A and B are shown apart, each in its own frame.
Chain A
């Protein structure tokens, strides 16, 4: 089903993305916590390029007729989770930012009161 040429192309692409992700994460000084997530994600891609049969197995397991549909729904679900996780992080950041600004402004008021 998966011919050798396709396998090689897939492998080349996924390994390249993994290398780019490692390099870019380092260069952009991404937090290790986030960078490791993306490393594991790219590792999973390489793995799926080496053993595409897991998608056949997975689609048979959940009863999806076309393996490509299994791939799409799996990835869509993972992306959905990722976006949700990112939104939680943004929310937490915006709370911290708000509290920092509030604290800063309260301190500024204290300093102003002292200098009068």
Chain B
């Protein structure tokens, strides 16, 4: 089966070389595609200079729009498996082969890289948010997902097709809810994530966090449904 790693990147000039080294070390022979989401730093120049495989969005579409472009690319080129992998260096490439293997064996349609399989969630406001979203997903689907906000995932062809064509999400948790509601098998595997090296998180501003939670609640409970 053919697999591709999709790397959305917005102003990740400093992090990308490390991410690519990581991927080339642990996933030799697996295709990848960087989706530059209209970066204002030297991301494009870097991709051009290093001859990375990349798609260049001329206008900034936001995270979900960039990720979807990657899925469209994967769908058009007939890939069987797509792995979503952050361009900021927080995701460890060493766990990718295992996730791809699980999809290949048909263990699941949708594999989530989970930070909390064995470890307890640390106590913080962000983790309270994570618990809350777990609860929402459980209420809507009856399935307990330990790390619903994780951005590291591997999906099979049917899910790629859905992501490429019917796309109306805020972020990962409601995508996950949609997959569960449509009878897709979701499994979590343990991954160790690293702290961000360069740049700041979008959720540093607490208002962004509140907005995210409110929108996510409504999306999961009211707007995601069965129509696959």
Contacts and interface: CB of A to CB of B under 8 A. Distances in A.
Interface of A: 98, 101-102, 104-106, 108-109
Nearest to B54: A109
Contacts of B68: 102
B59 interface: yes
Given A98-B65, A101-B61, A106 B73 contact: yes
B56 interface: yes
Nearest to B71: A102
A102 B61 contact: yes
Nearest to B76: A106
Given A109-B56, A109-B73, 17 more contacts: A98-B61, A98-B65, A101-B58, A101-B59, A101-B65, A102-B61, A102-B65, A102-B69, A105-B55, A105-B57, A105-B58, A105-B69, A106-B72, A106-B76, A108-B55, A109-B54, A109-B55
Give the residue among B56, B68, B69 with the most A Cβ atoms within 10 A.
Answer: B69
The 10 closest A-B pairs by CB, nearest first: A102-B69, A109-B55, A105-B57, A105-B55, A98-B65, A101-B59, A98-B61, A105-B56, A102-B72, A106-B73
B128 to A, nearest CB: 31
B57 A101 contact: yes
Interface of B: 54-59, 61, 65, 68-69, 72-73, 76
Contacts, number: 31
A80 B57 CA distance: 36
Contacts of B55: 105-106, 108-109
A106 B54 CA distance: 10
Nearest to A91: B168
A61 to B, nearest CB: 35
A109 B53 CA distance: 9
Contacts of B72: 102, 106
Give the residue among A102, A106, A109 with the most B Cβ atoms within 10 A.
Answer: A102
Contacts of B54: 109
A104 B57 CA distance: 8
A51 B54 CA distance: 65
Nearest to B33: A109
A60 B42 CA distance: 67
A88 to B, nearest CB: 14
Contacts of A101: 57-59, 61, 65
